[in-house]
Chain A
Amino acid sequence: MRRWFDDLPKYADDSSWWPNGTTRCRPEVFLFWLGLPLTIMAYFGLSAFLVLFKGLNQTNMNDYFAFGVWIVVDLAVIALGAGAFFTSFLNYIIGKTELKPIVNAAVLIGFICYTGAILMLGIDIGQPIRGWFGFWHANVHSMLTEVMFCITTYAIVLCIELLPSVLDNRRIGKVPEFGTFSHNLHTIMIVFAAAGTFLSFFHQGSLGGMFGVLYARPFAYRGHLGIWPMTFFLFVMSAIAAGPSFTTMVVMITEKITGKRLTSHKVKMLMGKISGWLLLVYMVCKSVDTLYWAFIYLPSKGLSVGQMYQAPYGSWLVWAELGLFGWLPAILLLTPRVRESYGLLFLAMLLNCIGVTLNRFIFTIQSLALPVMPFEKFFSYLPTWQEWGVASLVLGHGLLIFMLAYRYLPIFPQEPELNQR
């Protein structure tokens, strides 16, 4: 018996699976921390069961709020996951190879965001086993059909983009078939990056376009450029501005938790600079769009800005979205001294990510809160605990995949070099 206990650490030792030149915490510590995502996923499981078994009466969605917290979280994580396609685009297609140390992390985070959103939407549609109907009985005039096609196809592309990282695991990579397949995938990755860019551009845009075509809702409706409303382009711009920030933020949080340096600060500063310029362009376009909407479009329909903002969705939301979480992070990210500081860079990126999340909240919830008939009143919406439970899947599933990937996959190629003692 004693010998069995003595031998136990040897069998429990998973260090031969860790990336080359790295160290990780002991397996029992890792297993203990896995309890956190598993608890969140258990909460999701209970909520999802109730929603699927008892129906949408478990939520606070109704005839006015056909979209709730699930769509807000879905739109937010899709935007935050845009770092995957944009970083891959810059690295593989534009040739910005300085981003190579962070591209694996960007793909992993994108994979987490997209698969999490798809799983959550499986509950949102109410009948997950009929999910394929959208492909077979497609309504080609619907923005959501385009979103569905692109998101599912892009999730497949992300699986392919992530595959080399899995195959490059220290033990898996020793199998000649896997090692050779991984090598060949690396050489052709530019094609998948291009396909991912095409798909992402259209579904990020169509998520915004979905609101911009609601001509009966003046809060969301916008003028068109070609067949696309302005929100199509604004959603693409805001996603590519926030995506690189979110990727870098996740890397920084991982660095703080693990106590290790995972990418050089130069790479983070570059991501911050890219985010800053993209955010600046977005803020200029968004501000012009808001001014046109407030002072030309709304008065032309006999409406005023004041009617659009009522408690609890007051005008403070405009100042928060455009000022505190819009122009401020753009200015901060474009200031070299801010980017040089670890803490300030993180703060600016956090404000940027909150901004895009707030934008998705405003378009989803506030658009529906406004009355469309003279006899209706201004509505508000608060999710139930079951709705939060389903939405928490993204967090639980993300933590679980990220923890496993960090432990076993070579996601951060600079880690061994940066942590040499």
Chain B
Amino acid sequence: MLPFVFEWHWDIGHIVFFGLFYGVVSVVFGVLGLTILKTILDLWAGKIHSADH
């Protein structure tokens, strides 16, 4: 549920509940995205980690 849908209410329950949920989801996917980005940059810079290296 997002804040612009009709079922949303700006009460403490929705704010705390969804605030924590979206917070955790943002951290998880944000860190995963940053890790993918760092991997691309590492590969670009030639910093390769593999079983052969």
Across the interface, A136 reaches (CB within 8 A) one of B1, B31, B36, B38, namely B1
Stretch at the interface among A104-112, A191-199, A345-353: A191-199
Indicate whether A281 reaches chain B with its CB closer than 8 angstroms: no
B25 cross-chain contacts in A, Cβ below 8 A: 153
Query: Which applies to chain B's interface (DSSP): helix, strand, loop or mixed?
Result: helix
Indicate whether A54 reaches chain B with its CB closer than 8 angstroms: no
Asked if A179 and B27 sit within 8 Å, CB to CB, the answer is no
Chain B residues numbered 1-53 whose CB sits less than 8 Å from any CB in chain A? 1, 5, 7, 13-14, 17-18, 21, 24-25, 27-28, 31-32, 34-36, 38-39, 42-43, 47-53
Minimum Cβ distance to chain B for residue A210 (Å): 15
Asked if A180 and B27 sit within 8 Å, CB to CB, the answer is no
Stretch at the interface among A25-33, A181-189, A315-323, A324-332: A181-189
Tell me the complex Cα distance, A145–B13, Å.
12
A182 cross-chain contacts in B, Cβ below 8 A: 49
Contact A177 B35, CB 8 Å, known A153-B25, A156-B28 = no
Question: Looking across the interface, which residue of chain A has its beta carbon closest to that of B27?
Answer: A195
Indicate whether A344 reaches chain B with its CB closer than 8 angstroms: no
The winner among B13, B24, B32, B48 for most chain A CB atoms within 10 A is: B24
Contact A191 B39, CB 8 Å, known A136-B1, A174-B52 = no
Tell me the complex Cα distance, A195–B51, Å.
29
Indicate whether A261 reaches chain B with its CB closer than 8 angstroms: no
Tell me the complex Cα distance, A184–B35, Å.
6
Indicate whether A415 reaches chain B with its CB closer than 8 angstroms: no
Asked if A180 and B42 sit within 8 Å, CB to CB, the answer is yes
Asked if B21 and A192 sit within 8 Å, CB to CB, the answer is no
Asked if A179 and B17 sit within 8 Å, CB to CB, the answer is no
Across the interface, B14 reaches (CB within 8 A) one of A140, A174, A198, namely A140
Compute the total of residue contacts between A and B using a CB distance below 8 Å.
Answer: 74
Indicate whether A137 reaches chain B with its CB closer than 8 angstroms: yes
Question: Looking across the interface, which residue of chain A has its beta carbon closest to that of B15?
Answer: A140
B13 cross-chain contacts in A, Cβ below 8 A: 140-141
B43 cross-chain contacts in A, Cβ below 8 A: 176-177, 180
A177 cross-chain contacts in B, Cβ below 8 A: 39, 43
Tell me the complex Cα distance, A173–B52, Å.
8
Tell me the complex Cα distance, A184–B36, Å.
8
Asked if A180 and B28 sit within 8 Å, CB to CB, the answer is no
Chain A residues numbered 183-218 whose CB sits less than 8 Å from any CB in chain B? 183-185, 188, 191-192, 195, 198-199
Across the interface, A153 reaches (CB within 8 A) one of B24, B38, B39, B52, namely B24
Question: Looking across the interface, which residue of chain A has its beta carbon closest to that of B29?
Answer: A156
The winner among A138, A146, A160, A199 for most chain B CB atoms within 10 A is: A138
B24 cross-chain contacts in A, Cβ below 8 A: 153, 195, 198-199
Tell me the complex Cα distance, A157–B48, Å.
25
A253 cross-chain contacts in B, Cβ below 8 A: none
Indicate whether A135 reaches chain B with its CB closer than 8 angstroms: yes
Asked if B14 and A181 sit within 8 Å, CB to CB, the answer is no
Across the interface, A179 reaches (CB within 8 A) one of B5, B21, B34, B51, namely B51
Tell me the complex Cα distance, A265–B31, Å.
35
Minimum Cβ distance to chain A for residue B52 (Å): 5
Minimum Cβ distance to chain B for residue A151 (Å): 12
Minimum Cβ distance to chain B for residue A146 (Å): 7
Tell me the complex Cα distance, A135–B8, Å.
12
Tell me the complex Cα distance, A179–B24, Å.
27
Asked if B7 and A146 sit within 8 Å, CB to CB, the answer is no
Q: Mark A137-180, 1 if CB is under 8 A from B, else 0.
A: 11011000110010001001100100000000010011111111
A140 cross-chain contacts in B, Cβ below 8 A: 13-14, 17-18
Asked if B38 and A184 sit within 8 Å, CB to CB, the answer is yes
Across the interface, B17 reaches (CB within 8 A) one of A137, A146, A181, A188, namely A146
> 9 closest pairs, A vs B, by CB?
A179-B50, A183-B49, A173-B51, A140-B13, A140-B17, A181-B39, A176-B48, A174-B51, A176-B50
A sample of 10 inter-chain contacts (CB < 8 A) reads: A138-B1, A145-B17, A174-B51, A174-B52, A175-B50, A176-B53, A179-B50, A179-B53, A188-B35, A199-B24
* Contacts A140-B18, A160-B28 supplied; 17 other A-B pairs, CB < 8 Å: A136-B1, A137-B1, A140-B14, A141-B13, A145-B17, A146-B17, A153-B24, A160-B32, A174-B50, A176-B53, A177-B39, A179-B51, A180-B42, A180-B50, A182-B49, A191-B31, A198-B24
